[in-house]
Structure 1
Amino acid sequence: MSGSCCENSCSAPGPEDSRFRKILWVALVLNGAMFFVEIVGGARAGSVSLLADAVDFLGDAANYAISLLVLSMGLLWRARAALVKGATMAVYGIAILGVAGWNAIQGQPPEPMTMGIIGTLALMVNVLVALLLYAFRSGDANMRSVWLCSRNDAIGNLAVLAAALGVLGTGSAWPDLLVAALMASLGLTSAVTVLRQARQELRQLDLNDRAAERAHHGSESREARG
């Protein structure tokens, strides 16, 4: 991995990178476990918002794995990884909107108690991960994408709990569907943010490379004239 590390603004991993790596491992394990809990619970309860959250847990686990892979690489590879994650977040948002639309046609309300119990567990996990990652919220596009995912997850879990109360009180599927649409919108908004920052970082790296190349050619020209 050190062989690819020296490309574009690479430095030896510091204490902050080491701490970030440990937190990512914790987040990866927790998100992987919660994916299985929510995919089973969401299917049994017939809840689109729980299924949406389960897919989000899976996507986050994959994103944490990618972040771990590129953490010791240069900014170029971290920005490229952020592009992949931003695109994944966008696909997730669009897919959930499609599932919510399909279930709106079906009109079958989910089981609210299962939604509430699993939603509470998911909230506890995501708040823990968000608190662990809070210190890295202003880092590069790769770090920021991780923080945005964890923040969105905690917001989404609060919305799932609100949906459970709404379904319980109304006996309708609409609270569940509205929350699923909200979670999809959060995913799309965050995707735009991550993609924009990653593209800016890639553009800046390209400008830096061009400036370095011009400086190198200028130095060679002066040596030739000398």
Structure 2
Amino acid sequence: MDSCCESKSDELEQLRARQSRILYLVLAINATMFVVEFVAGWLASSTALLGDSLDMFGDASVYALTLFVLDKGRRARASAAMVKGGFMLLFGLVVVADAIRKLILNELPEADWMGAVGALALFANGICFALLYRHRADDLNMRSTWLCSRNDLIANTSVIIAAGLVALTGTLWPDLIVGLSIATLFLHSAWQVIREALQEWKSGMQAASPEHNHDKPGDN
């Protein structure tokens, strides 16, 4: 029995070590791409690129938070996932606000910048997605990080399509539509992560309650 438990402990330590290495790598990729997309988004006056850059920043923060709770308990992991969901919710609302601002000011984005930077972001997030794919079912936090990466691929592809449509039509509507679509995706994913985190938190509370009740006097 001791040998079995010791073996299981070693497996968990190896799993956490693998997760940590992957998360540090995707953290570095997302932090770098945040700077690239944020600067390019302002230069190109693109809501889609700015929204994608904020998402990169959110992902980098999320990965850093996940690294912090890798060796924590169930409720700590659930709390971290709640924070992640909050980040996703916030950035979705930021994209909506910027889309409204662009509509009022009637700013036309630069399609060349949008397409080139969108393609670079797609390549970077493709690497992150491949790295995270095998760990998507490890636990709640790894699943939520994988969901973030999946959303990024969809958003990057949308930016590239929007760039082509902006070039063809000479209007800002493709950029606005993509920005609002990204916001909708993030808001939906935020709710999904928060809901799963609440379920995980309740499970942690239920798991702890028998021990609590056991210590109460007169419960025989």
TM-score of the aligned structures, taking structure 2 as reference length:
0.91
Aligned to 2:80: 81
Secondary structure, in 3 states, of the residue corresponding to 1:172?
Answer: coil
Matched residue, 1:213 = 212
Matched letter for residue 34 of structure 1: M
- Give the structure 2 partner of residue 44 of structure 1: 43
The residue type equivalent to 1:196 in the other structure is R
Q: Which moved more, 1:86-95 or 1:152-161?
A: 86-95
Pairwise mapping of residues 1-226 of structure 1 onto structure 2 (< 5 A)? 13-217=12-216
The letter for the 1-side match of 2:207 is N
- What's the offset of the Cα at 1:72? 1.2
Q: Distance in 1 between matches of 2:118 and 2:94?
A: 20
Per-residue CA shift, 1:62-95, capped at 9, x if unaligned? Answer: 1110011111111211110111110111111111
Equivalent pairs, count:
211
Q: Distance in 2 between matches of 1:204 and 1:182?
A: 33
Mapped to 1, the partners of 2:212 and 2:107 lie a distance apart of 62
Deviations, residues 121-171 of structure 1 (Å, cap 9, x unaligned): 000000110111011222332111101111100110000000000100000
One-letter amino acid of the structure 2 residue matched with residue 190 of structure 1: S
Q: How many percent identity over aligned positions?
A: 41
CA–CA distance in 1 between the matches of 2:59 and 2:76? Answer: 18
TM-score normalised over the length of structure 1: 0.89
SS of 2:134's equivalent in the other structure is helix
Q: Give the aligned residue type for 2:88.
A: M
Give the Å deviation of 1:118: 0.5
In structure 1, the gaps of 5 or more residues are: 1-10
Q: State the distance in 2 between where 1:52 and 1:112 align.
A: 16
Aligned to 2:3: none
SS at match of 2:138: coil
Q: For residues 162-189 of structure 1, give each alpha carbon's deviation from its aligned partner in whole angstroms, at most 9, with x where no partner exists.
A: 0000100000000001101111111111
Instruction: State how far apart, in whole Å, the 2-side matches of 1:141 and 1:182 are.
Output: 25
Cα distance, 1:216 vs. partner? Answer: 4.2
Q: Point out 4+ residue stretches in structure 1 off by more than 3 angstroms.
A: 215-218
Greater Cα shift, 166-175 or 105-114 = 105-114
What SS does structure 2 have at the residue aligned with 1:110?
coil
| Alpha-carbon RMSD | 1.6
Distance 1:21 1:125 in 2: 19
Give the secondary structure class of the aligned counterpart of 1:109.
Answer: coil
Instruction: Give the Cα–Cα distance (whole angstroms) in 2 for the partners of residues 154 and 216 of structure 1.
Output: 50
